[in-house]
Amino acid sequence: MVLGKGRLVLVLVPLFGALIGAQDAPECGTCDRSACPEETKCIGGTVPDICGCCMVCARGLGQRCDEDDTETKAYGSCGEYLTCTARTDIGESDEGTCTCEEKGAVCGSDGVTYDTLCHLLEKTADDETLTVVAREPCKSVPVIKSRPKDAIRPLGSIMVLDCEAVGFPVPELFWELNMADGSPFRLPSDNPAFAIQIRGGPEKHMVTAWAQIMSIGKETVGTYTCVAKNSEGEDRAAAKISLRDQDSQNEI
């Protein structure tokens, strides 16, 4: 009987010691919640610290974090709307950073478009009244970022005009030509003297257009206007294309 009890004690002591070690690991020490720091305003809410003792501010967007299945905690958990994601830009690594669970831009009550909801929430640290008004970019009047330039070109030469505009909704982009005699028309048209190309980018909510004049002459000179238009308004940028006179060409 004594031997049996002794064996029972030998089994229980290591088990009890393991439980104590897990709760009061050397790096954490004994949990004394009375010594925990006072909770301050935390953008992402509060989470238990790495020792599971005190409540602390959750890790923020872009900060190092511990994934749920990480045995040894070193940084802490991510806050609301964030998830700890393993980095893929540094090869094989267990390093994680807090990334936003919701993807896509949002419009703030301050009229600013934020990359994600999490970026807006970070801003609330400075402005408590800031809220989300739409889960899409803020609507904005088109703005032409890259404008066509005036030019004087020799007879028969080829020229390309370019124009970039940004806005939301993404603007429609087209060209208008006011010829030297005052007659206007919209490009592209069925006139083979012009080639028009339009594509999205290179930035978000931006569109780019090129107008190629196949041969500079009296029928193709005039004022070329880039027009960017959406539901919120429009923007215009004009360039005057002139024909170099014959005397100037001869001098060249």
Q: DSSP labels for 196-233?
A: EEEEE-SSTTEEEEEEEESS-STTT-EEEEEEEEETTE
Q: What is the mean pLDDT of residues 134-156?
A: 95
Q: pLDDT tier at 248 (50, 70, 90 boundaries)?
A: low
Which residue spans within the chain are E strands per DSSP? 46-48, 55-57, 64-65, 82-86, 96-100, 106-108, 113-114, 132-134, 140-146, 151-153, 159-168, 172-179, 184-187, 194-200, 206-213, 222-230, 233-243
- Lowest-confidence range among 7-21, 98-112, 173-187, 211-225? 7-21
Helical segments of the chain, H only: 2-23, 117-123, 246-251
pLDDT, residue 19, reads 36
The contacts found for 52-57 with CB under 8 angstroms, 24 or more apart, are 52/28, 53/28
Confidence of residue 93 (pLDDT cuts 50, 70, 90): low
Instruction: Quote the pLDDT of residue 214.
Output: 94
- Tokens 């004994």 correspond to 30
Q: How confident is the model at residue 143 (pLDDT cuts 50, 70, 90)?
A: very high
At residue 1, the pLDDT reads 38
Cis peptide before 188 (omega within 30 of 0): yes
Q: Output the pLDDT for position 91.
A: 62
pLDDT bin (cut points 50, 70, 90) of residue 126 is: confident
Rounded average pLDDT over 97-118:
94
Write down all domains in the chain, each with its CATH number in brackets.
39-101 (4.10.40.20), 103-138 (3.30.60.30), 140-246 (2.60.40.10)
Query: 0.75 cut: is pTM over it?
Result: no
Average pLDDT in the chain: 83
Q: Cα(221)–Cα(224) distance, rounded to whole angstroms?
A: 9
What was the pLDDT predicted at 83?
A: 93
Q: Residues 174-202: what's their mean pLDDT?
A: 87
Residue 252, pLDDT above cutoff 50 = no
pLDDT at position 184 is: 82
Task: State what percent of residues in the chain have pLDDT above 70.
Answer: 85
Q: In the structure, what pLDDT confidence band is assigned to residue 246 with cuts at 50, 70 and 90?
A: low
- Distances in whole angstroms, Cα of residue 195 to Cα of each of 35, 106, 247: 74, 37, 29
Cα 101 from Cα 142, distance rounded (Å): 30
